[in-house]
Structure 1
């Protein structure tokens, strides 16, 4: 009588089923899996970044959106004119992506205000001032009108061209704030009057 040919797959299955780990090994694995060693989180490489982001206010979020590294965001309850000057210098040397342009313009305007003010301004006041820009838009270098606070592009208006009095695309000028009256009409808004806040 001929014996049935045995495939390698069947041999592997038979070998796996015939090997049984000792109960003591299974018990040891169960204890290790349920013990405090298994629940301890791994060391956190980004703990400082996470901690800095957890306490972020509106002004800090604006600086982050403008491309400022987390470790350069000022800590404390106020921003002094010296800190404002340093942050503006930081922005001057940092490369940026198109989505950083609009938040960087807003941050620069607020930081110039702190410098002109001549004394420290509380983070609460700065965060309140940030809210004045929430419905404003700026023309980016890539021809998009973008939200002033987030840099999110809303509409492409055309290629930006150099002009006698600056740069712009169509009826829009770079560095000017705009607001949307309806889906198709835009008007120049100017900068918010920060002194009235």
Structure 2
């Protein structure tokens, strides 16, 4: 008794020959089947490869700059940041507009870049990454009246409209340019900026 597989093949053959397709059509189908598919043989160019590679290798300092509004292609490469690079980045941040969420990371980035400038020599990305960590529990008052996480700009609490004062600007007991930390419960207190020389 023929197996089921042999029986199927026979029926396929019978179906093909009973269709009486023109010989030229069968030849054309055979040629098309043997050619590689155009899309498979020529994949589209990987236009975002450079961006993907930069993001894949991003360290703490690079992530801070990205959160501060620096384009991916402008993030400095290499194992250290020189005073010249720091000065250029500070100039870039000084003239570029920013979103409210970018204010706090930009403020922190400016502090670190100023440190590199004043240090007078290259600072390793590893050291800069350690310095970034010193800001992880700190908050800054944004111009829209929100206390925001220093590293991400994520709003934590609205404390009221910001007003211009004789000695700066602020909302209630909070001032723009000062760091705050959350104490027990929901209470906030002002704190000193990290001492980067001791990190």
TM range (shorter): 0.7 to 0.9
Output one character per residue of 1:105-125: Cα deviation in whole Å (capped at 9) or x when no partner. 000000011111110000111
- What does residue 12 of structure 1 align with? none
Judging changes above 3 Å, is the alpha-carbon distance between structure 1 residues 168 and 48 closer, same or farther for their aligned structure 2 residues? same
Judging changes above 3 Å, is the alpha-carbon distance between structure 1 residues 27 and 76 closer, same or farther for their aligned structure 2 residues? same
* Structure 1 stretches of at least 4 aligned residues deviating more than 4 Å after TM superposition: 22-33
Judging changes above 3 Å, is the alpha-carbon distance between structure 1 residues 25 and 156 closer, same or farther for their aligned structure 2 residues? farther
- TM-score, structure 2 normalization: 0.81
Which aligned pairs between 1:28-177 and structure 2 lie closer than 5 A? Answer: 37-38=39-40, 41-177=43-179
Output one character per residue of 1:163-189: Cα deviation in whole Å (capped at 9) or x when no partner. 111100011000000000133201111
Gap regions ≥5 residues in structure 1: 1-19
- Highest Rg: 1 or 2? 2
- The CA RMSD over aligned residues, in Å, is 2.1
CA contact (8 A) 1:88 1:108 kept: yes
Question: In the aligned structure 2, how far is the partner of 1:172 from the partner of 1:25?
Answer: 78
Question: In the aligned structure 2, how far is the partner of 1:27 from the partner of 1:154?
Answer: 66
Output one character per residue of 1:23-79: Cα deviation in whole Å (capped at 9) or x when no partner. 77777776668x695276421222221222111110000000000111111111100
Gap regions ≥5 residues in structure 2: 1-20
Judging changes above 3 Å, is the alpha-carbon distance between structure 1 residues 158 and 30 closer, same or farther for their aligned structure 2 residues? farther
CA contact (8 A) 1:79 1:114 kept: yes
CA contact (8 A) 1:80 1:121 kept: yes
1:154, CA displacement in angstroms?
0.8
Judging changes above 3 Å, is the alpha-carbon distance between structure 1 residues 89 and 38 closer, same or farther for their aligned structure 2 residues? same
Question: In the aligned structure 2, how far is the partner of 1:47 from the partner of 1:30?
Answer: 32
Alignment partner for residue 184 of structure 1, among 181, 186, 196?
186
- TM-score, structure 1 normalization: 0.82
Question: In the aligned structure 2, how far is the partner of 1:90 from the partner of 1:84?
Answer: 10
**Count of residues in Structure 1 that have an aligned counterpart in Structure 2:** 176
